[in-house]
Amino acid sequence: MKHLIIEARESGTSTGRYVDKLVESLQVLKPGFDITVLTKPSRLKFFERIAPGFKSFSSSAKEFSLSEQATLAPQLYSLRADLVHFTVAQQPVLYFGKAITTVHDLTTARFTNPSKNPLVFKFKQLIYRFVVLWSAHKSKAVITPSEFVKQDLARFAHINPAKIKVIHEAADKIAEVPQPVKAVGESDFIMYVGRPLPHKNLGRLIEAFELLQKDYPELRLILAGKKDVLYERIEKKVGDAGIKNVIFTGFVTEGQLRWLYEQASAYVFPSLSEGFGLPGLEAMAHGAPVVSSDATCLPEIYGDAAHYFDPKDPADMATKISEVLASSALRDQLITKGRLQAAKYSWRRMAEQTLEVYKQVLGV
């Protein structure tokens, strides 16, 4: 029986939902491989629970670290895999065994993180670009979550697009019981959930919200996500500018997130760069009308189920949000189309298609 390693050190993060769902769904499919999941020590019990038929090994090598380059390749060689699936681009360049790689997007190669030391981040970004190029060339196949990322990667890495397989991800409906977020209050609100990195474009969303307040003075903007240095900086700017009704919730539970989706007048996704756009799709699954940036992969993934704006134009963003708030017919249409659009995507189908890539690469 062929031995396959799934590299899952990102498990438990927003990006790591992909590998969590991949392993969970592959377990159900009974793939006919001897599968080892390589993950960080804190996630061993999680994989033992969701995939008891697979082996689990721990790796303490952190992403974007020297230990990733120095210790991960020897560990992989010691496990003697016929194929390794790197579920993110970062990987040891000295591993020359048969491998496939999932590249979710090229955002890290193009945008900075102002919460990090700029010199250190620039150095790591250069390394990341090299690793993406290297892994794209040495991998027997590459998986991307959208056609946009496929074409973007093909141009960036100068590889044949035929080597790249588009396999869509999916959005789950949250199972936890909805739990109100007290800080929101009873007024109507629009919302965003996620990290406040520069490419998420929250500065322009707040500018658009200021414009909206002229016609909707009681409207609230809910920014949900674990508070970090970047969120603290944004919150301070909002306070210094005297912008009212912007609520920073901090971390929200799954039940609270479900409640926000179900109560929101609109979910606004202002991002400048995405590989799949999972949050907007998740919002659709819960019946939130989605007003979205028209950048990168988002029109491809959302189809006609979102109301689009130019993410670099706060006035256009405000106009498109206002159109949804003002028209119950448009809002109902987006809700109906959104539910249908979200239902088109399936984690099981993602796993089935990924399994086919494994078989093709291994020739079985």
In the prediction, which pLDDT does 340 show?
98
In the prediction, which pLDDT does 351 show?
98
Output the six-digit token pair for 98: 């048969």
Nearest Cα neighbor of 79 from 94, 57, 53 is 57
Nearest Cα neighbor of 320 from 159, 230, 212 is 212
Q: Exposed e or buried b for every residue in 73-110, given b needs 16+ CB within 10 A?
A: bebbeeeebbbbbbbbbbbbeebeeebbbbbbbbbbbe
Report the side by side order of strands in the sheet with 290-293.
246-250, 220-224, 189-193, 266-269, 290-293, 306-309
In the prediction, which pLDDT does 52 show?
95
Dihedral of the CA atoms 38, 39, 45, 48 (nearest 10)? -30
In the prediction, which pLDDT does 118 show?
83
Query: Which domains, and CATH codes, for the chain?
Result: 3-170+346-362 (3.40.50.2000), 182-343 (3.40.50.2000)
In the prediction, which pLDDT does 64 show?
72
> Tens-digit pLDDT profile for the chain (364 aa)?
999 999 999 998 888 999 999 999 999 999 999 999 999 999 999 999 999 999 999 998 887 777 788 889 999 999 999 999 999 998 998 999 999 999 999 998 888 888 787 888 888 889 889 999 999 999 999 999 999 999 999 999 999 999 999 999 999 899 999 999 999 988 999 999 999 999 999 999 999 999 999 999 999 999 999 999 999 999 999 999 999 999 999 999 999 999 999 999 999 999 999 999 999 999 999 999 999 999 999 999 999 999 999 999 999 999 999 999 999 999 999 999 999 999 999 999 999 999 999 999 999 8
Q: Please say whether the beta carbons of 354 and 22 come within 8 A.
A: yes
Distance CA 345, CA 348 (A): 9
In the prediction, which pLDDT does 334 show?
98
Residues contacting residue 338 through CB under 8 Å, at least 6 positions apart = 283, 284, 285, 287, 288, 289, 290, 305, 306
